[in-house]
Structure 1
Amino acid sequence: MRKCDSFLINRTVLAVKAFFMGDNKSEILTTHGIYYSVLTPLDLLNKACINYYSTWQGRTNVAKNLLNYSKKPPFIIVPNEIGVFPTKSSDSPDCVFIFNHYISVEEVAKGQSVITFMPGISITVNVSKNTILKQYQRLHTLMSVSNLRHQEKELYDRENGFDDRKDN
């Protein structure tokens, strides 16, 4: 059983879900295999956000305010790189956090879907295909708005003499 901490939350992570066995509380599905953590999914994601100078609560509040998503807001862990959306309320033990990778979704039963990631790795979640696609779209809207705001800030900084890329 491979153990990990919040530093494993990187571009290779596909999904994080609750997993209770022994001391483990999370299962982390990556392009390199499955890892386990003694942290809950929310604690794991919060520590990953803290690694990038914010918190899970701070990141979700931004999404709620910026895009008016009051329920199940997606959030960005690493600006312009790593974003994630919950399949259910983050309080639900059945919630799976899906990361910003290309996915295809197949509904296999009422309220149950299989998400397949580009490397051919799949995970079954207890939500409808429609819910997954809606959350996926919300995440990519958030990522796009964030990227545009970042570009606008860089342009503003350059136009106002705050360009830190200038040669000294």
Structure 2
Amino acid sequence: MMFDKDLDLITTNSFVLSPLFEGEMKSKVMTRDGYLYSTLTPIQLLEKICIRHGSTFQGRIDAVKELLGYSKKLPLYIGEGIYAYPTRSPYHPECVWVFYHSYRYEAYSKGQTILYFDHGEIVILDISLHTVKEQQQRLASIILSLRFNKQQTLIRRK
């Protein structure tokens, strides 16, 4: 298998995946160790990462749609321990993906929310506090649903 540095950008240490419109770089990933950059757009990067974890991006989205009954701005299960939610439609060029991590948040200004991550970084999102709360709830719902389904499968095997 050929080495692909883009496949190492999204891990359990990823906090935020943002579009970047500077030269060749198309996305920026905030991690525990700093920022990483890619020439792929956020959606292209997520598509590659989902394939690495055994499914397509659309397959992951379809599964969440089926499990939760939502149809828009769906959270994404990428792989073991890696979950994220979009701030807009996933295909919107300014969509930011926020990964499952501990952070505090508060309204920043009209239509903006600020996130304070435990490792000291902050991010200002161009979405309302209400939308952040809604997206967090959706993300928690899919995490709980997948964990419950996994436990039920293990119980049935015994």
Aligned to 1:48: 49
Aligned to 1:109: 109
Deviations 1:30-77 (CA, angstroms, capped at 9, x unpaired): 110011101110111111111110011111111111101111000101
Q: What is the TM-score of this pair, normalised by structure 2?
A: 0.93
Q: What amino acid is aligned across from residue 57 of structure 1 in structure 2?
A: Q
Counterpart CA distance in 2 for 1:8 and 1:71 is: 25
Aligned to 2:139: 139
Counterpart CA distance in 2 for 1:11 and 1:89 is: 23
Structure 2, unmatched stretches of 5+, are none
Answer yes or no: is 1:155 the counterpart of 2:155. yes
* Preserved contact between residue 104 and residue 115 of structure 2 (Cα < 8 Å): yes
Structure 1, unmatched stretches of 5+, are 159-168
Counterpart CA distance in 2 for 1:104 and 1:94 is: 22
* Preserved contact between residue 84 and residue 100 of structure 1 (Cα < 8 Å): yes
Q: Secondary structure at the match of 1:5?
A: helix
Counterpart CA distance in 1 for 2:91 and 2:43 is: 9
Aligned to 2:30: 29
Q: Secondary structure at the match of 2:49?
A: helix
**Structure 1 residue runs of 4+, over 6 Å off?**
none
Aligned to 1:162: none
Deviations 1:5-26 (CA, angstroms, capped at 9, x unpaired): 1222111100101102121100
* Preserved contact between residue 111 and residue 127 of structure 2 (Cα < 8 Å): yes
* Preserved contact between residue 16 and residue 96 of structure 1 (Cα < 8 Å): yes
Across the two proteins, how many residue pairs are aligned to each other? 154
Counterpart CA distance in 2 for 1:8 and 1:35 is: 7
Q: What is the TM-score of this pair, normalised by structure 1?
A: 0.88
Aligned to 2:67: 66
Deviations 1:89-144 (CA, angstroms, capped at 9, x unpaired): 11222211000001211111110111112212111110001101110111011001
Aligned to 1:16: 17
Q: What amino acid is aligned across from residue 98 of structure 1 in structure 2?
A: V
User: What percentage of residue pairs aligned between the two structures are identical?
Assistant: 36
Task: Give the RMSD, CA atoms, in angstroms.
Answer: 1.1
